[in-house]
Structure 1
Amino acid sequence: MQLTHTQQKFLFLLSITVLYLALIAWLDGLRGPYWWDEETFWDTSLSFSDRLLPSLSDLRDYKELNTPLPFILFGLLEYLFGQGIWAGRLFNLVLSIAMVFIIGWPTKDKGGRAIVCLIGLFLCPYYLWLSGRLYTEMLACFWVLLGTMGYVRNRSGWSCLAFILAIATRQYMVAFPAAIATYELIRATSRVRQTNRIDWPAQRHWILPLVASCSLFFWFYLFQGLAPEMALEIRSAPDVQQTIWGVELGGAIHYLSFIGLYIVIPEFILFNPRAHLRALSHQWDQQKYRVGILALGLLLFMLVFPPQELASGNVKKLAEMLPYSVLSWGFYYILSLLTCVRFARPNLTGLLILFNAVIMVKAHPWDRYVLPMVVVFWYLKSIDQVDHFLLFWGQKGSDPAPQNPSFTEPI
Structure 2
Amino acid sequence: MSMKKSHKYLLIVSIIITIFEIIVAYIGEIHIRQPWGDEIRLYASVLNFGDNFSLDLLKHYRQMSTPLPFIIYALWGKLFGFELFTLRILSILIAISTYLLFFKILYFETDNIKLSVVSTLFLVVNPYMVGLSIFVFTDMPTIFFLLLAYYAMRKQQMYLFIFSLACSILCRQYILYAIPAFLIYFGYKYLIEKDKIDVKWISATLASLIPYGLLVILWGGTSPDNEYRAMYLTDGFFYHIDNFYLYTALLFIYLLPLYFFLSDKFYSSLKIILPAALCSLGYYYFPISPSKYSIDIGVYTVGLFHKVLVFLQVPTGIIEIIFFASTLLGLPILFTILNVSIKKISEKNFDSELLLSLLILFFFVVMPFSYLGWEKYFVQVLPFVLLLFTIYLNQKSANHRLHSQTD
Which TM-score bucket, shorter chain as reference? 0.7 to 0.9
Are the equivalent residues in 2 in contact too, given 1:62–1:230 (CA < 8 A)?
yes
User: Using a 3 Å threshold, how does the CA distance of structure 1 residues 76 and 160 change in structure 2: closer, same or farther?
Assistant: same
| RMSD (Å), alpha carbons | 3.1
User: Shift of residue 77 of structure 1?
Assistant: 2.2
2:248 to 232, 246, 256: 256
**Distance between the aligned counterparts of 1:339 and 1:99, measured in 2?**
26
User: Using a 3 Å threshold, how does the CA distance of structure 1 residues 44 and 280 change in structure 2: closer, same or farther?
Assistant: closer
The answer for the alignment partner of 1:293 in structure 2 is 275
- 1:48 counterpart SS class: helix
Are the equivalent residues in 1 in contact too, given 2:10–2:100 (CA < 8 A)?
no
The answer for the alignment partner of 1:392 in structure 2 is none
Are the equivalent residues in 2 in contact too, given 1:257–1:336 (CA < 8 A)?
yes
Are the equivalent residues in 2 in contact too, given 1:136–1:169 (CA < 8 A)?
yes
The answer for the alignment partner of 2:294 in structure 1 is none
The answer for the alignment partner of 1:57 in structure 2 is 56
User: Using a 3 Å threshold, how does the CA distance of structure 1 residues 231 and 153 change in structure 2: closer, same or farther?
Assistant: farther
**Distance between the aligned counterparts of 2:222 and 2:400, measured in 1?**
41
User: Shift of residue 211 of structure 1?
Assistant: 3.0
The answer for the alignment partner of 1:316 in structure 2 is 306
TM-score, length-scaled by structure 1: 0.78
Are the equivalent residues in 1 in contact too, given 2:272–2:335 (CA < 8 A)?
no
User: Using a 3 Å threshold, how does the CA distance of structure 1 residues 7 and 305 change in structure 2: closer, same or farther?
Assistant: same
User: Shift of residue 243 of structure 1?
Assistant: 4.9
User: Using a 3 Å threshold, how does the CA distance of structure 1 residues 186 and 156 change in structure 2: closer, same or farther?
Assistant: same
Q: Gapped runs of 5+ residues in structure 1?
A: 193-197, 388-401
Alignment partner of 1:368 is 2:360 = no
User: Using a 3 Å threshold, how does the CA distance of structure 1 residues 337 and 376 change in structure 2: closer, same or farther?
Assistant: closer
Q: Which amino acid aligns with 2:89?
A: L
- 2:171 counterpart SS class: coil
Q: In terms of mean alpha carbon deviation, does 131-140 or 201-210 score higher?
A: 201-210
TM-score, length-scaled by structure 2: 0.79
The answer for the alignment partner of 2:404 in structure 1 is none
Are the equivalent residues in 2 in contact too, given 1:313–1:366 (CA < 8 A)?
yes
Q: Gapped runs of 5+ residues in structure 2?
A: 292-300, 342-353, 402-407
Are the equivalent residues in 2 in contact too, given 1:251–1:357 (CA < 8 A)?
no
Alignment partner of 1:266 is 2:257 = yes
Q: Deviation string for 1:183-235 (max 9, x for gaps)?
A: 2212323x06xxxxx3223212223223324654333222112322224268x
Write 1 or 2 for the structure with the bigger share of helix. 2
**Distance between the aligned counterparts of 1:162 and 1:45, measured in 2?**
21
The answer for the alignment partner of 2:21 in structure 1 is 20
**Distance between the aligned counterparts of 2:331 and 2:381, measured in 1?**
18
**Distance between the aligned counterparts of 2:281 and 2:134, measured in 1?**
41
Are the equivalent residues in 1 in contact too, given 2:190–2:196 (CA < 8 A)?
no
The answer for the alignment partner of 1:206 in structure 2 is 202
Q: Which amino acid aligns with 2:271?
A: Y
Alignment of 1:8-407 (within 5 A): 12-50=13-51, 54-104=53-103, 109-189=111-191, 191=192, 198-213=194-209, 215-232=211-228, 237=232, 241-263=233-255, 265-269=256-260, 273=261, 276-280=262-266, 283-284=268-269, 288-296=270-278, 298-310=279-291, 311-317=301-307, 321=314, 323-324=316-317, 327-328=321-322, 330-344=324-338, 345-346=340-341, 347-363=354-370, 364-379=372-387, 384=391, 404-406=396-398
Q: Deviation string for 1:5-43 (max 9, x for gaps)?
A: 798567535532431221121232544211011111111
Are the equivalent residues in 2 in contact too, given 1:64–1:231 (CA < 8 A)?
no
User: Shift of residue 342 of structure 1?
Assistant: 4.2
**Distance between the aligned counterparts of 1:227 and 1:121, measured in 2?**
30
